[in-house]
Structure 1
Amino acid sequence: MLEESLIEYGYRRVVITITAILCALLEIVDSTIVNVALNDMKGNLSATLSEVGWVVTAYAIGNVIIVPMTSWLSQQFGRRNYFAASIIMFTVCSFLCGNSTNIWELVFFRLLQGMGGGALLVTSQTIITESYPVEKRGMAQAIYGLGVIVGPALGPPLGGYIVDNFSWAYIFYINIPIGILATIFTLKFVRSPKYSEKRQAKDVDWIGIILLAIFVGSLQFVLERGQEDDWFDSQTIIIFSAMAFLGFILFIWRELTFRYPIVELRVLRNGNLRIGTIMSFILGFGLYSSAFVIPLYTQNILGWSALQAGILMIPPAAATACMMPIIARLLSSGIKPQFLVALGFLLFFVYSFWGYKILTPDTAKDDFFWMLIVRGIGLSMLFIPITTLALSTLKGQEIGQGASFTGMMRQLGGSFGIAATTTFMARQNTEHQFFLVSHLDMNSLNVQQRIIGMKAAFMAKGMPANIATESSYKAIEYSVIKQAAVLSYMDVFLFLGIMFLICIPFILFIKERKGKKSVDISITH
Structure 2
Amino acid sequence: MEFSNADTERIKRWLLLVPTMLAAFMFALDETIANIALPHIAGSFSVSSQESIWILTSYLVASCLTIPMIDWLSRLLGRKNMFMLCVFVFTVASFLCGISDSMGMMVVSRFLQGLGGGVLIPIAQAIMMEAFEGDELSLAGTIFGMVVIIAPIIGPVIGGWITENYSWHWIFFINVPIGIIILILAKTMIVDPPYAQKQKNVKTDYWGILFLCTFAVAFEIMMDKGNDLDWFGSPFICKLTVVWVVALILLIISQIKQKDSLVKFDAFRDYNFVVGTICLTIMNAILLASMAMLPQFMQNMMGYDAFTSGLTMMPRGVGCLIGCVLSGYLQPRMDGRILAAVGVAILCLGSWSLGFINLEISSMSVVVPNIMYGIGMTVGMIPIITLSCKTIAADRMSNASGIQNFIKTIGGAIGTSLVATFVSRFSQIHQNMMVKHLTETNSVYVERLQAYSSQFMSMTDLSTATYMGQTLIYNQLQAQARLWAYVDSFRIFAVAGIIILFLIFALKKDRKTDVSKQ
Supply the AA of the counterpart residue of 2:120.
L
| Partner Cα separation in structure 1 for residue 387 and residue 413 of structure 2 | 23
Equivalent positions of 1:217-228 (< 5 A) are 217-228=217-228
Shift of 1:321: 1.4
| Partner Cα separation in structure 2 for residue 478 and residue 29 of structure 1 | 37
Q: Deviations over 1:402-443 (max 9, x none)?
A: 211221122111111112211122111111111111211267
Equivalent positions of 1:251-330 (< 5 A) are 251-330=251-330
Shift of 1:193: 2.3
| Partner Cα separation in structure 1 for residue 412 and residue 336 of structure 2 | 22
Q: Which residue of 2 aligns with 1:354?
A: 353
Kept in 1, the 8 Å contact 2:208–2:262? The answer is yes
Q: Deviations over 1:146-179 (max 9, x none)?
A: 1111111111111111111122211111111111
Give secondary structure in 1 for the equivalent of 2:193: strand
Equivalent positions of 1:6-405 (< 5 A) are 9=9, 12-195=12-195, 198-200=199-201, 203-333=203-333, 335-357=334-356, 359-405=357-403
Q: Deviations over 1:353-396 (max 9, x none)?
A: 11112x11221222212111211111122221111011111222
Shift of 1:208: 0.8
Residue from 470, 474, 477 that aligns with 2:474: 477
Give secondary structure in 2 for the equivalent of 1:272: helix
Q: Which residue of 2 aligns with 1:523?
A: none
Shift of 1:483: 0.4
Supply the AA of the counterpart residue of 2:347.
F
| Partner Cα separation in structure 1 for residue 232 and residue 140 of structure 2 | 44
TM-score w.r.t. the length of structure 2 is 0.93
Give the direction of change, closer, same or farther, for the CA distance of 1:220–1:8 in structure 2 (3 Å limit).
Answer: farther
Kept in 2, the 8 Å contact 1:71–1:397? The answer is no
Supply the AA of the counterpart residue of 1:97.
C
Query: Which 10-residue stretch deviates more, 11-20 or 385-394?
Result: 11-20
Give the direction of change, closer, same or farther, for the CA distance of 1:94–1:465 in structure 2 (3 Å limit).
Answer: farther
Give secondary structure in 2 for the equivalent of 1:157: helix
| Partner Cα separation in structure 1 for residue 111 and residue 12 of structure 2 | 33
Shift of 1:132: 2.7
Q: Which residue of 2 aligns with 1:505?
A: 502
Shift of 1:16: 3.0
Shift of 1:13: 4.1
Shift of 1:39: 0.9
| Partner Cα separation in structure 2 for residue 304 and residue 8 of structure 1 | 52
Kept in 2, the 8 Å contact 1:136–1:332? The answer is no
Q: Deviations over 1:67-117 (max 9, x none)?
A: 111122122211111111111111111111122222122111111111111
| Partner Cα separation in structure 2 for residue 194 and residue 510 of structure 1 | 31
Give the direction of change, closer, same or farther, for the CA distance of 1:318–1:439 in structure 2 (3 Å limit).
Answer: same
Aligned residues: 511
1:488 aligns with 2:485: yes
Shift of 1:340: 2.0
Supply the AA of the counterpart residue of 1:380.
T
Supply the AA of the counterpart residue of 2:188.
K
Kept in 2, the 8 Å contact 1:97–1:169? The answer is yes
Give the direction of change, closer, same or farther, for the CA distance of 1:121–1:440 in structure 2 (3 Å limit).
Answer: same
TM-score w.r.t. the length of structure 1 is 0.91
**Tell me, which stretches of 5 or more residues in structure 1 are unaligned?**
521-525
Shift of 1:141: 0.8
| Partner Cα separation in structure 1 for residue 317 and residue 475 of structure 2 | 34
Kept in 2, the 8 Å contact 1:277–1:405? The answer is no
Query: Which 10-residue stretch deviates more, 55-64 or 370-379?
Result: 370-379
Kept in 2, the 8 Å contact 1:295–1:310? The answer is yes
Kept in 2, the 8 Å contact 1:8–1:132? The answer is no
Kept in 2, the 8 Å contact 1:61–1:111? The answer is yes
Give the direction of change, closer, same or farther, for the CA distance of 1:513–1:250 in structure 2 (3 Å limit).
Answer: farther
Kept in 1, the 8 Å contact 2:42–2:52? The answer is yes
Give secondary structure in 2 for the equivalent of 1:34: coil
Q: Deviations over 1:21-77 (max 9, x none)?
A: 221111111111111111111111011222111111111100111111112212221
Give the direction of change, closer, same or farther, for the CA distance of 1:95–1:7 in structure 2 (3 Å limit).
Answer: farther
**Tell me, which stretches of 5 or more residues in structure 2 are unaligned?**
none
Give the direction of change, closer, same or farther, for the CA distance of 1:510–1:159 in structure 2 (3 Å limit).
Answer: same
Give secondary structure in 1 for the equivalent of 2:34: helix
| Partner Cα separation in structure 2 for residue 476 and residue 6 of structure 1 | 73
| Partner Cα separation in structure 2 for residue 325 and residue 353 of structure 1 | 24
Structure with larger RCO (C-alpha < 8 A, sep 6+): 1
